[in-house]
Every structure is written in C-alpha cells, then in structure tokens.
Amino acid sequence: MNALLNRDSLRSAGFGLLGLLGVVALWWLLQLTVLADARIPSPAGVVRAAIDRGWDYNARHFGVTLQEAAVGFGYGTVAAVALAALTLLVPALERLVMQVAVITYCVPLVAIAPVLFIVIGNPEEGQRAGTATALAALSVFFTTVVGTVLGLRSADPASLEVVRVFGGGAFRQLTKVRLIAALPSVLAALRVAAPLAFLGAILGEYVGGVQRGVAITLKIAQQNVDVEGAWAIGLGCALVAGTFYGLFALLARVVTPWSRGAA
C-alpha cells in the first residue's frame, strides 16, 4: 500500500511538473509572438527581477506578511472550529453561527478593510499588523466553519451510540468520536483556507499603510512601472500560496491515512 501511494505521489508530482513547464513554455512563446507588444515580461526577465531584489529584501517583506497571515489564520481557525463544535453542543446556535459565517464570506474584503482599519487603529500607534491580521482571520472563517461542521456531522452513528450506551453525553461524543471523524474535512478546509489567509493579509496591508510587507513592494513596483518586478512578486505570492496548499495536503496524508480525501 505504501509503495502504491509513493508511486501515485511521484506520478502526480511528475504530471504537475510537466504542467508547470508547459505553462512556462507557452508563456515564453506568447511573449515572443502575439503578445510581443504587450507589457508582459519573459520568464527569464521575471526570474532576473526576483534575483536582483536579493534574498534579504524578499525575505524581509514576505516574512512580515507571512507572520500576519499566520496569526490571522490561527485566530480564524480556532474561532471557526470552536463555534462549529458549539453548534453540536447547543444546536439552537447553529443557524446563528452559519449566518455569521455566510456574512463573512459575502462581504467583500476590499469593502470591509477600510472599516476594520478605522476600528482597529492607526499603524503609527503600534497596531501596524492589525488590519492585515483581521482580514486574514476573516478569509479563513467561512471555509473552516463549513468544513468542520460537515466533518463533525459525518461521525459514524454506531460509534456515537457506543459512547452513549456507556453513559457519554454530547460532549464526550464530540471529543471521542466527532473530532476524529472530522479531521479529514477540517484539514481539507484548512488546505483551502491557508492560501486565503495570505491573500487577506496582503489586502490588509494595502489599506493599513504598512512600511514593510508584500503590499508595499507591489506599490513600489507599480509606482516605478516595474513590470518584471511586479510579476516576480505576484508569482512569489502564488508560490507561497501553493506551498501552503501542498503542506496541508501532505499533513492530511500523514494525519488521516484512513481517509480517501487525504490521498
């Protein structure tokens, strides 16, 4: 079984690498032909722009955004899992929790960011990361709540009945059966939520007037009409988001090997 999984993983990685190389080749071909007059840099130019910025520059700005995204991701995940579990212990709250989750999903982050910035405070008052962290938390809340609720409700009825027969109530069923059953769904939700947290942090930086972070590097590239630099930053963001997605996919494979979704 392990050998089969390893072969499947290598095959998937191989197809992914071929697909990436195909996209780069197509990009290069279009840039040299039909899009030669457009402001689209070549792959080599984008790589050169990223190298010219230097490791220290990229690490400093991406590190700030990653920290904001990680804190917001943690807050949003804890709140979502706790509220999802609460809906099973107090079923009357389920409608309210789901309505709140839907509202956080439907309200555009670009529209709510200025409001959060006004409420949280001025960056000069030592709250520079507040807006970015809040938007990162909001970005992950809906996905994690829905995934957790679905996972908690997927518990095996026979296992729940065994706990009930031995005198366990709703809380013991939650801790002994439902949380374990929900792990695949929760990890699948987090796999999607982690890249969203990074995006939310970048949007928060745009509004929050930060001095360091991915957003400020994009603003500088825009002001300088640095097309290659802007593309390099954008592709760097895509690489970070894809890494988060892959890490949670790997975590799901390790933590929940019994689940088909983890494979």
Question: What tens digit of pLDDT does each residue of 175-217 get?
Answer: 888 889 899 999 999 999 999 999 999 988 888 667 788 988 9
Q: Give me the residues of the chain with pLDDT under 50, please.
A: 1, 4, 125-128, 261-263
Local structure of 178: helix, strand or coil: helix
Instruction: Name the average pLDDT for the chain.
Output: 83
Find how far residue 132's CA is from the centre of its chain. Answer: 14
Which pLDDT belongs to residue 84?
Answer: 93
CATH number for the domain running over 41-255: 1.10.3720.10
pTM: 0.83
Task: Give me the torsion for CA of 256, 259, 261, 263, rounded to 10°.
Answer: 70
- What is d(CA 164, CA 69) in angstroms, rounded to the nearest whole number? 40
